[in-house]
Amino acid sequence: MQNSETAAVDHGLDRAALAKMLRQILPAEAVLFEEEDLRPYECDGLTAYRKLPLVAVLPDTLEQVRAVMRLCYEKNVPVVARGAGTGLSGGALPLENGVLLSLAKFNRILEVDAVARTARVQPGVRNLAISESVSHLDLYYAPDPSSQIACSIGGNVAENAGGLHCLKYGLTVHNIIELKMVTVEGELIVIGGRGLDSPGYDLLALMTGSEGMLGVIVEVTVKLLPKPECARLTLAAFDDVEKAGAAVGRIIADGIIPAGLEMMDNAAIRATDDFVQAGYPTDAVAILLCELDGTEQEVGDQLQQVRALLDDCGATEVRVARDEDERARFWAGRKAAFPAAGRLSPDYYCMDGTIPRRELPNVLAGMGAMSKEYGLPIMNVFHAGDGNLHPLILYDANVPGEIERVEELGSKILQLCIDAGGTITGEHGVGIEKINQMCVQFKSPELLQFHAVKHAFDEHELLNPGKAVPTLNRCAEFGAMHVHEGKLPFPDIERF
């Protein structure tokens, strides 16, 4: 396990003293400090890391959020914002000496403008709730993470969440236009605007994916898109992963941007088919799910083209979902991949590297070899269209020492992604989980530049400190443990 750092700040307040101050600005029931009340907040979706916050607060007005921030700023108390707690990188892991600020009560859709195609919502609103609330207008909110029934839009912005359809429709950053944010000092600012751009620097992009390190998001205005007239899903089976990978490249090089283009390996096909009876060909080495959407004619034109390409790439079977039921069933398998892994194995660890697509066969082969070496099965589902891998390492946390080996395997997989010209995280964020790998992906001047950006918003490092961007000292320590090719990374840092 990686050591999560407790924020360096020493504010000298104990639990009782801090709770008392918070109860002066919040209703009593919005301040939690008994251990049993704090338990639900001890971790996010990355359950291997747990910590109780000093106090948890659940404000439900903007003024209350501002008051909490003002107090914490004045008393030098660190704050961790939390949406729905579905994050997979420990971003919402509390700090022992800090306040856990839950935005769960901010769950109202404030305004839908059907003509301008926007919705103004509070940060705690669930991702899927937005699309549900505008469905009668034939509009929807495009980014659809698999966690969409549970995760909050505030958390989506903080992580720049993606989904099954982001190849064509983009990530969170492409689908929001305005944020209201409370600064560390408790000031309310508006970022972005109701038009298509805003004056000055693109702070909207900077805030997106900033993991709660720059401000607390208290309102989000999202773009809504017209529902496509028609969507058709094609399933193609392959007897070879390389062929499946090549087919993905061919479809795209041929001028088609599918709405979704997903790949699953045999382990994932079996696990999910067993779980939701998706009707997948369970003997296939890999399957591709390719969704085309648009007008009837567009989809008709492209469907023919895709079928021909898939045949040409050596697909052993090509099935176009006959109706909405079958389409939903094919997708259900893919969407159930994580829970299906959970059924197969007591625990699983979900990785999130992104690579240039052409590297897919190499990276898969590399992972296969590592899986054997460690004796830990890996099941693979990925957003093949954009090269975002989600290898799931299956393990049992009750076996002593296993979790350490899983982490070691995980960090080797991330190294593989970096070596392939990719990145350690495509959409789940760095949080506390991948903080050491940041030292591999970035050099010290880049990390220092990130810290300088943080300081422009949060000079005293009170917002989610210790996450997302490692200190150089931490990298030096990590580097000392992982000497790469005989060279110490970060030679310029003092050793201790």
Partner 1 sequence: MTDNADISADLKTRVESAIADRTPLAIVAGGTKQFMGRMIQAEDFDVSEHRGVISYEASELVLTARAGTPLSSVEATLAEKGQMLPFEPPYFGHGATLGGTVACGLSGPRRPYAGAVRDFVLGVTLINGKAEVLRFGGEVMKNVAGYDVSRLVTGALGTLGLMLDVSLKVLPVPAEDLTLTFDMDFAEAIQQMNRWAARPIPISGACHDGEQLRLRLSGTAGGVNTAAERLGGERQNGEDFWRDLRELQLRFFDGDDPLWRLSVPPTTPPLALPGRTLVDWGGALRWLKSDADGDSIRSVVSTAGGHATLFKGGDRTGQVFHPLPAKLLDIHRRLKRAFDPDRIFNPGKMYEGV
Binding site for ligand FAD (CB under 6 A): 44-45, 80-88, 91-92, 103, 123, 145-147, 151-152, 154-156, 158-159, 161-163, 211-212, 216-217, 338, 427-428, 464
Q: Which is nearer to ligand FAD, 211 or 359 (CB)?
A: 211
CA–CA distance, 194 with 177 (Å, rounded to integer): 6
Are 241 and 90 in contact by the 8 Å Cβ rule? The answer is no
For residue 256, the minimal CB distance to partner 1 (Å) is 7
For residue 47, the minimal CB distance to ligand FAD (Å) is 10
For residue 51, the minimal CB distance to ligand FAD (Å) is 13
| Contact status: 23 vs partner 1 (CB under 8 A) | no
Nearest residue to ligand FAD on Cβ basis: 155
| Contact status: 411 vs partner 1 (CB under 8 A) | no
Of 357, 390, 467, 474, the one binding partner 1 by CB under 8 A? 357
Mark residues 300-319: x for contact with partner 1 by CB under 8 A, - for none. Answer: xxx-----------------
Q: Which is nearer to partner 1, 266 or 423 (CB)?
A: 423
Structure tokens at 294: 């648009």
What part of residues 258-297 is at the interface with partner 1 (CB under 8 A)? 294-297
Single-letter residue type at 455 = H
Of 426, 465, 466, 489, the one binding partner 1 by CB under 8 A? 426
Contact partner, 279, from partner 1, ligand FAD, none, Cβ < 5-8 Å per class:
none
For residue 421, the minimal CB distance to partner 1 (Å) is 6
Question: E strands along 67-133, which residues?
Answer: 79-82, 99-102, 109-113, 118-121
CA–CA distance, 169 with 163 (Å, rounded to integer): 9
Of 86, 127, 146, 208, the one binding partner 1 by CB under 8 A? 208
Contact partner, 195, from ligand FAD, partner 1, none, Cβ < 5-8 Å per class:
partner 1
Residue for token pair 């269209």:
385
Are 476 and 495 in contact by the 8 Å Cβ rule? The answer is yes
For residue 220, the minimal CB distance to ligand FAD (Å) is 8
For residue 74, the minimal CB distance to ligand FAD (Å) is 20
* Selected range binding partner 1 among 55-63, 70-78, 100-108, 222-230, rule: CB under 8 A: 222-230
| Contact status: 140 vs partner 1 (CB under 8 A) | no
- Residue positions counted in the chain: 496
Q: Which is nearer to ligand FAD, 310 or 344 (CB)?
A: 344
Q: CB-based contacts of 99: which residues, under 8 Å, 6+ apart? A: 18, 22, 53, 54, 55, 56, 57, 68, 72, 77, 78, 79, 80
For residue 20, the minimal CB distance to partner 1 (Å) is 30
Q: CB-based contacts of 397: which residues, under 8 Å, 6+ apart? A: 48, 346, 347, 403
Single-letter residue type at 219 = E
Q: How far is CA 340 from CA 12, 269, 350, in A?
A: 46, 10, 12
Q: How many other C-beta atoms lie within 10 A of the C-beta of residue 91?
A: 29
Encode burial over 150-179: b for 16+ CB neighbours within 10 A, e otherwise.
bbbbbbbbbbbbbbbbbbbbebbbebbbbb
For residue 16, the minimal CB distance to partner 1 (Å) is 34
| Contact status: 199 vs partner 1 (CB under 8 A) | yes
